[in-house]
Structure 1
């Protein structure tokens, strides 16, 4: 049973093995998300952070602004140096992160969708994304408004298909520090409400029914692409507000890989309108 503690949701957390349990499946079907504790060791978290920042430096040094048609999101670190706050297709530039996506525990998540050519989208959509949130004056990425993920298919002229978004969390982010907020059960709404329940990406207002998670570095989260969610700005500034998380999608439908010749999807061109 789930408990509502004011605005803090005391939800059930799980451990992910090589198979999804009946309890985990039932929870996901009801609420549209799962929170797995201690998925990665602290040593592995450090290794992944080192890899992400190694690739980041390489791309900054080379002046890369897009990857496979997807624009990178830039900001400044606390020292005023250029940083990339949203990277994409990261695992295609890191053997360590590519091998991570082969983890059999991650493959178990494929079964949360009805069988229909489900796969980890390493070279589709935006691949493995690295989001780096920090709350400071020169940051371009400190929060993200309410949105759902699956409607992006519409901008590509495709039918909306079911999908999952898998988050690998690389910094501690307790509820009080902001971070991921979800509206449990909204993945079961009509397609119209999946599109229009709120103003996609523009609405940052708290919702009385939202749930915030107590996340530690090494945790894994899963949410349905139709689930309404947002990222709350951290009440602190500078180093204490730093949150780094990797996301990749599990998708269905026709295989559609991207490469260096891929065009920029229309929805990325709207980013400046909805930013902050």
Structure 2
């Protein structure tokens, strides 16, 4: 692999050859100012409305996928991991049809598509460090091997992150190991202890993220979410992820079973 040099991009209507080459080499991309601050505020409002809807109906899982609950800094109830969020918001549904997001499927080619109704759909993660928060970090992992728990072969995928809070590298957040998307299957599965290992890696790369930025990472790329060193409001990080998937179309529905790995996720995800 070529020595890593940090670089950010702007995403237009289609990917540039430079952006494709960077992704192929390192396994991720960071696009600045993908959405405006006004749109960020709108998305946060939509996610809050979905959360309140779930609380009102005492929902604890969607399409077989458990929600992750916690408490906000003021002690109020908080859903720290929402799934299939766009199914409950026309605003977020329309966002996933943005031609710029659709263009990212080109990184995988073939039948790659936005997985709005597959895997966990559009996931809204809400990290905050407070006295009773239960979701402050996520250990090293890769995304693609989850197919194995569903009795399927590993299919190539991407995760597209829309960041809704500023998060400089010093505030924790997303860390990746550049180039590990090109490793063999054994390393994809066992290079580190999936979700359990939270230790920093000498080769990891962080991001200076602003609200409105977009990140893309290959599902085979090792990555983690580092806990903020701060406690309180300064630690708050909200981000939406949606997969771009390949292989046979496999939508989730209200009668979908809870995958085994998600039943035990509470024991390995902090």
Give the alignment partner of residue 229 of structure 2, picking from 235, 241, 244. Answer: 235
The CA RMSD over aligned residues, in Å, is 1.3
Per the alignment, residue 99 of structure 2 pairs with: 104
Per the alignment, residue 59 of structure 1 pairs with: 54
Per the alignment, residue 68 of structure 1 pairs with: 63
Distance in 1 (alpha carbons) for counterparts of 2:187 and 2:170? 29
Distance in 2 (alpha carbons) for counterparts of 1:255 and 1:33? 24
Length-normalised TM-score, structure 1: 0.96
1:227 deviation in Å? 0.2
Unpaired stretches in structure 2, ≥5 consecutive residues:
none
Quick check: 1:177 aligned with 2:171? yes
SS of residue paired to 2:91 = helix
Where does structure 1 differ by over 3 angstroms across 4 or more consecutive aligned residues?
A: none
Alignment of 1:1-276 (within 5 A): 11-113=6-108, 115-276=109-270
SS of residue paired to 1:215 = coil
Contact persistence 1:60–1:83 (CA under 8 A): no
SS of residue paired to 1:249 = strand
CA offset digits 1:159-217 (Å, max 9, x no partner):
00100000000000011100000000000000100000000000000000000000000
Length-normalised TM-score, structure 2: 0.98
Contact persistence 1:147–1:201 (CA under 8 A): yes
Unpaired stretches in structure 1, ≥5 consecutive residues:
5-9
Count residues in correspondence: 270
Distance in 2 (alpha carbons) for counterparts of 1:67 and 1:86? 11
1:146 deviation in Å? 0.1
Distance in 2 (alpha carbons) for counterparts of 1:22 and 1:29? 10
1:3 deviation in Å? 7.8
Contact persistence 2:73–2:131 (CA under 8 A): no
Distance in 2 (alpha carbons) for counterparts of 1:200 and 1:258? 24
1:272 deviation in Å? 2.1
Distance in 2 (alpha carbons) for counterparts of 1:221 and 1:102? 17
Distance in 2 (alpha carbons) for counterparts of 1:179 and 1:153? 25
Distance in 2 (alpha carbons) for counterparts of 1:270 and 1:116? 33
1:236 deviation in Å? 0.5
Contact persistence 1:150–1:160 (CA under 8 A): yes
1:259 deviation in Å? 1.2
1:62 deviation in Å? 1.4
Contact persistence 1:116–1:253 (CA under 8 A): no
